[in-house]
Homo-oligomer: A and B are copies of this chain.
Amino acid sequence: MTTPVIDIDRLVARLDQLAEIGRIDGPNGEWGNARLALTDDDKAGRDLVVEWMRSLGLAVEIDRVGNIVGTRVGDNMALAPVMTGSHIDTVGTGGRFDGTLGVLAGLEVVEAMNSAGVTTERPVAVAVFTDEEGSRFPPDMLGSLVYAGGMPLEAALAIEAVDDGATLGDELTRIGYSGGAPCPPVAAPHAFVELHIEQGPVLEAEAIDIGVVTDVQGISWTEVTITGRSAHAGTTPMAMRRDPGYVAASITTFVRDLTRRFGPPLVGTVGRIELVPNLVNVVPARATVTVDLRHTDDDRLGEANEMFARHLDELAESENVEITTRSLASFSSVEFDSTTVDRVAASAERLGYSHRRIVSGAGHDAQMLARICPSGMIFVPSAGGLSHNIAEYTAPEHLAAGAAVLLDVVLDLASGTVAD
């Protein structure tokens, strides 16, 4: 038995190989991924990860919402496993690190332990959660939400894809990932730790290696549907119009105003706008927009949502349109377990990496796991703060630092016996 060490070349090679599936090439040599949840490309990515898990000797289980858990045997199999992992689905124009790093660094931790002949008291599990992005099946973090008991399984299986209307359950069956393991699981993990890229600019700007994540900001996704009256663009006087396209635009500029009024850390995004019939010379009959609001303070997020709702009422009145809303996702901000957070900070310190405490601007599977077990997260820098973009990039030395901290924390949590 030797000291387990991260092989960064092996980790990068796995990242590159997985990223070939659903590859998107940009104009300037940058490349990323489109591997939307439960598409053929997602299936191909899952198959590859499962193959890797099996070759590392992990026992692979698929649960009823398609989450994949690969478990490394522990000395005492009666104990709950220490779990790590993340997701491998991406947004439509996603990067190569968001999610996949957490899964493949988990495999690298396992391989490093295998190579060194390390045994641990507790089993160690690597999880791949279904549909973390929520781009195809809202809400985001769906697989871990169901895993943590936050949404009934049957409700999740009935969710329809925003692109083609297929249900999550049907798509799981189609790609062969409707598994037999119960979800939520019979027993919660002992602890959960997730390595993820920051997806924001802070660590890079401050030249810090490791972000010790303390909180995740609250998220609210609202779909707004506006119904007006389709009319001829040339002959309908402006005063007689009931124009959902104008209202959709007005909502979008209001979201920007709202973020100005509140100031950071409120962020607001209208990422989807759809007009019907969407033709140059027709005042639309209907419009749909989605509004993504996030704040670290749930009360402030609630205030922003209230102001938004009042604005919709005013618009419905002044523009003589019908406005309906539907919540696609609503997650409170999450404060991670302080012991786990301290453990991450201690590992970074012990390994000689610069580190700082940081709040996550994005949602992550770890925030769902935090509902059922002590959880924490490790961030590594994102070049230019870019993410959900094919130019997303994290340098190998940062990937290596993150994986080394993950290994250290997992060994600590699993009470590993390591030769000095």
Contact = CB atoms under 8 A, between A and B. Distances in A.
Interface in A347-368: 360-363
Interface string A287-331: 000101010000000000000000000000000000000001000
Interface stretch (A104-112, A153-161, A245-253, A411-419): A245-253
Nearest to A283: B269
Contacts of A362: 232, 234-235
Nearest to A276: B93
B245 A199 contact: no
Question: Copies of this chain, how many?
Answer: 2
A285 interface: yes
Interface stretch (A7-15, A55-63, A134-142, A393-401): A134-142
Given A199-B234, A235-B198, A235-B200, A252 B246 contact: yes
Contacts of A238: 256, 259-260, 264, 267-268
A234 B221 CA distance: 11
B278 A388 contact: no
24 contacts: A92-B278, A93-B230, A93-B277, A134-B280, A135-B281, A140-B281, A198-B235, A221-B280, A230-B388, A232-B362, A232-B386, A232-B388, A233-B269, A238-B256, A238-B264, A238-B267, A245-B252, A245-B269, A246-B256, A249-B252, A271-B279, A272-B278, A274-B278, A281-B388
A272 B92 CA distance: 21
B92 A282 contact: yes
A236 interface: yes
Nearest to A329: B280
Given A280-B272, A281-B271, A388 B233 contact: yes
A273 B271 CA distance: 12
Contacts of A253: 246, 249-250, 253
Contacts of A386: 229, 231-232
Most chain B CB within 10 A, of A135, A252, A270, A282, is at A282
A233 to B, nearest CB: 4
A323 to B, nearest CB: 16
Given A240-B385, A249-B249, A280-B328, 17 more contacts: A91-B281, A135-B281, A198-B235, A201-B237, A221-B281, A231-B385, A232-B362, A233-B267, A233-B269, A235-B360, A236-B385, A237-B267, A238-B259, A245-B271, A249-B273, A273-B278, A283-B388
A372 interface: no
A91 B233 CA distance: 11
A235 B201 CA distance: 8
Interface string A375-399: 0000000100111111000000000
B232 A200 contact: yes
Contacts of A252: 245-246, 248-249
Contacts of A93: 230, 276-277, 282, 285
Contacts of A240: 201, 385
> Which of A231, A276, A284 has the most chain B CB atoms closer than 10 A to its own CB?
A231
B91 A279 contact: yes
B234 A246 contact: no
A227 to B, nearest CB: 11
A226 interface: no
Given A292-B233, A389-B231, A134 B281 contact: yes
A256 B239 CA distance: 11
Contacts of A388: 230-233, 281-283
